[in-house]
Amino acid sequence: MSYYTVLGLTKEPFSTSPDPTFFFRSDAHAQALARLEIAIRLRRGLCLILGDVGIGKTTLARALLSNFPQEEGFTFHMIMDPSFESEYQFLVHLSRLFGVRAAYKSTLDCREAIEHHLFQSAVMEGRTLVLIIDEGQKLSMDMLEHLRVLLNYETNEFKLLQVVIFAQMEFMERVMRIKNFFDRVALKYILNPLDEAQTRQMIQFRLQSAGLTQGEDLFSLDAIQTIYRLSQGYPRKIALLCHNALETLVMYDRRIIDGPMIEELLRDESRWIQPVTSS
């Protein structure tokens, strides 16, 4: 029997995979999704969503995919990790993703085939093609240059390809140095950590999504305050602390998690961090 069934839950509430069913929509998330939807509908080209490690970029990317209204005329593609060995491999991957069937001898051939597909799809068939790239900080300069050229491809009214890049903050500095790329960013959005109230709401939302009865609490108020203080509102850290806390709750047959339990968990965890020793 899993630990969560003992608590009367039907699913694991604090798994750290970016599952859209556990997506807590704070005002900031709702705003980011609404602005992305508008930019995509207006076919404005390039959107950039930035945030620190574990802030929820991949989760938001999945939420964009699963929440975008299911309408005819929109085609979404996603690259989870653009660590390609060469620009050629990147373009071949893109062309396969778009369903382009052609034999190419060079990167230029490949890019032309993609451009032809974009024209066919966006202009002739009136479709909106959206490419979502996660882990955008792994895009090389060559890949960014190809994206820039593809983003340049436009009619008088709209861009033929919509690109949404989710990346760590460091990506911003790199992109700012490529002026003709940075100029093309139609939407920039930085994901910030949750505040204390949102931390509480996220914990409660995830527990209820996993089957907790409304009105029931597994975390005391001081537990939530401690989680907020220790996680600084970073969702991955919140989820990890909550997961470990629930396991402890079941292991010691307790009823509710309090602040000292969370502190103890962190003390246990910090034992794994080796102190740096000088040789």
Q: Which residues bind ligand ATP (CB under 6 A)?
A: 16-18, 22-24, 29, 51, 53-59, 168, 202, 235-236, 239
Query: 80-113 burial by CB neighbour count: b if 16+ within 10 A, else e?
Result: eebebeebbebbbebbeebebeeebeebeebbeb
Least distance from ligand ATP to the Cβ atom of residue 24, Å: 3
Q: Does 168 bind Mg ion (CB under 5 A)?
A: no
Least distance from ligand ATP to the Cβ atom of residue 279, Å: 31
- Taking the least distance from each CB to ligand ATP, the nearer of 29 and 200 is 29
Beta carbons within 10 angstroms of residue 234's beta carbon: 19
Both tokens assigned to 227 = 């989680």
Q: Which does 229 bind (CB under 5 to 8 A by kind): Mg ion, ligand ATP, none?
A: none
Among 20, 37, 52, 58, binds Mg ion (CB under 5 A): 58
Q: Which does 103 bind (CB under 5 to 8 A by kind): Mg ion, ligand ATP, none?
A: none
Q: What is the DSSP string of 182-205?
A: HTTEEEEEE-----HHHHHHHHHH
Q: Is 279 exposed, middle or buried (0-12, 13-18, 19+ CB in 10 A)?
A: exposed
- Taking the least distance from each CB to ligand ATP, the nearer of 93 and 236 is 236
Both tokens assigned to 58 = 């991949």
- Taking the least distance from each CB to ligand ATP, the nearer of 43 and 200 is 200
β-sheet bridge partners, residue 189: 49
Least distance from Mg ion to the Cβ atom of residue 165, Å: 12
Least distance from ligand ATP to the Cβ atom of residue 1, Å: 23
Both tokens assigned to 217 = 């609490």
Least distance from ligand ATP to the Cβ atom of residue 6, Å: 21
**Which residues are CB-contacts of 269 (< 8 A; sequence separation ≥ 6)?**
244
Least distance from ligand ATP to the Cβ atom of residue 135, Å: 6
Scan for tokens 């039907």, then name that residue: 10
38 to 28, 134, 263: CA distances (angstroms): 15, 20, 43
Q: Which does 235 bind (CB under 5 to 8 A by kind): Mg ion, ligand ATP, none?
A: ligand ATP
Beta carbons within 10 angstroms of residue 225's beta carbon: 16
Q: Which does 82 bind (CB under 5 to 8 A by kind): ligand ATP, Mg ion, none?
A: none
Closest by CA to 57, choosing from 275, 206, 234, is 234
46-50 and 161-167 beta bridge pairing: parallel
The residue with its CB nearest to ligand ATP is 56
- Taking the least distance from each CB to ligand ATP, the nearer of 33 and 265 is 33
Please give the Cα distance from 67 to 70 (Å, whole number). 8
The residue with its CB nearest to Mg ion is 58
Q: Does 16 bind Mg ion (CB under 5 A)?
A: no
Least distance from ligand ATP to the Cβ atom of residue 133, Å: 12
Q: Which does 16 bind (CB under 5 to 8 A by kind): ligand ATP, Mg ion, none?
A: ligand ATP
- Taking the least distance from each CB to ligand ATP, the nearer of 87 and 135 is 135
Please give the Cα distance from 81 to 85 (Å, whole number). 12
Residues near Mg ion, by CB under 5 A = 57-58
